[in-house]
Amino acid sequence: MLKAEYQQRGPVPQDVIQAIEFEAPELQADEVLLELQASPINPSDVLTLTGLYGILPPLPAIGGNEGVARVVSLGSNVTGLVEGQSVLLPVGLGTWSTHIVAPAKKLIPLPEGADPQQLSMLSINPPTAALMLSEFADLKPGDWVIQNAANSAVGNYLIQLAKLKGLRTINIVRRESLIQPLQDIGADLVLVDGDDLPKRVRKATDKADIKLAIDAVGGAASNRLADCLATQGTLVNYGMMSGEAAQVSSANLIFKDITVKGFWLALWFQHASNEAQQKLYNELAMLIATGKLSAPIDKVFKVADIKEAVAYAAQGERNGKVLVTA
């Protein structure tokens, strides 16, 4: 058994984490022993290793925040689960480990026959995309939504979920090579970012009233999205890939009455009922299980190769998610 553990944080994420051997503790009556099937490396995981994320677990810690695992054995009081069944791991458990012990009540059974690698990415990015589409604007079929970092994992899911809702998406990217892959998954319009972005958006959409903008970049890119919005539109910021805080001009705030909101899934979890969380996950899991929702996978690594996996995930110019398996 191996776990990817880090005892300190530092500027080079792969330097602080390593795979170490361990023995699984004896199961308590309400616990389950699991074998990892797949766990993604998200940008938040890399930021956690560097110490720059909003929530940092106490040290030492095991990397990884979401994933799917197979039930190996059950505690004496566990019911409702069977050996060999795939389950969704609790967020924040520390999932880059060949084997995991978890409380049975926190495990969510998953549809049989579904791709565990696709389901391993269920916990964070799909609900982030779904909630940003549903919580901030009253959108109707045919409406436009604009987003930057459209080639990101959240961006990919947002395109697909918007299409299922009958919404149209304007997708902003940094380079032309990303246009065709996004069109292939249903993007209606893909544009390369630039100072003249608002002018090109107005032309391409015939001056449509855009109610919602989704911003993962921050800095001046935030204001370019705000410039594209209709009066009283909403800009939702959920990241700062530029390394800069979101910037929105006084003209957009005053004369267009633009609303700027932030979104962090962890806060939604704090306020949402268990029923609301379960409903959201069930809906998304079925979309993934039936092939209606998916994300590209760039490369898969073993837990034993965690240093190489983190280094690869931390670099840019990838074409999909990096996964860790047992």
pLDDT in tens, 74-88: 999 999 999 999 999
Q: Is residue 276 part of a domain?
A: no
The reply to whether 210 falls in a domain is yes
In a domain, 76, yes or no: yes
Whole-number Å distance between alpha carbons of 325 and 306 = 10
121 to each of 1, 30, 233, how far by Cα in Å?
23, 26, 30
282 in any annotated domain: no
pTM: 0.88
Q: Predicted confidence band at 112 (pLDDT cuts at 50, 70, 90)?
A: confident
**Mean pLDDT of all residues in the chain?**
95
Domain total in the chain? 2
284 in any annotated domain: no
Residues 82 and 176 in one domain: no
- % the chain with pLDDT above 90: 86
- pLDDT of res. 308: 98
Please tell me whether residues 162 and 234 are part of one structural domain. yes
* Same domain (yes/no): 133, 262: yes
**Both 231 and 140 in a single domain?**
yes
One domain, residues 168 and 76: no
| 152 in the same domain as 255 | yes
On whether both 69 and 155 belong to a single domain, the answer is no
Are 138 and 236 part of one and the same domain?
yes
DSSP 217-235: S-BHHHHHHHHHSPTT-EE
Residue with tokens 């959201």: 280
Same domain, 141 and 113: no
Instruction: Specify the 3-state DSSP secondary structure of 116.
Output: helix
Q: Are residues 106 and 190 in the same domain?
A: no
Domain assignment of residue 191, given as a range = 128-266
Task: Return the top range by mean pLDDT from 105-119, 159-173, 307-321.
Answer: 159-173
Domain containing 157 — which CATH number? 3.40.50.720
Q: How far apart are CA 321 and CA 149, in angstroms?
A: 14
Task: Identify whether 106 is part of a domain.
Answer: yes
Same domain, 96 and 161: no
- Closest by CA to 281, choosing from 161, 116, 110, 160, is 110
Hey, which residues are catalytic here? 53
pLDDT computed for residue 92 by the predictor:
86
Which among 250, 266, 282 is the end of a domain?
Answer: 266
Task: Among 266, 284, 309, identify where a domain stops.
Answer: 266
Percent of the chain with pLDDT over 70: 100
Q: Using the Cα atoms of residue 70, residue 71, residue 73 and residue 75 in order, give the sign of their dihedral.
A: positive
What pLDDT, on the 0 to 100 scale, is given for residue 60?
Answer: 96
CATH number at residue 6: 3.90.180.10
Q: Do both 87 and 135 map to the same domain?
A: no
Residue 281 counted as domain residue: no
pLDDT in tens, 119-163: 999 999 999 999 999 999 999 999 999 999 999 989 999 999 999
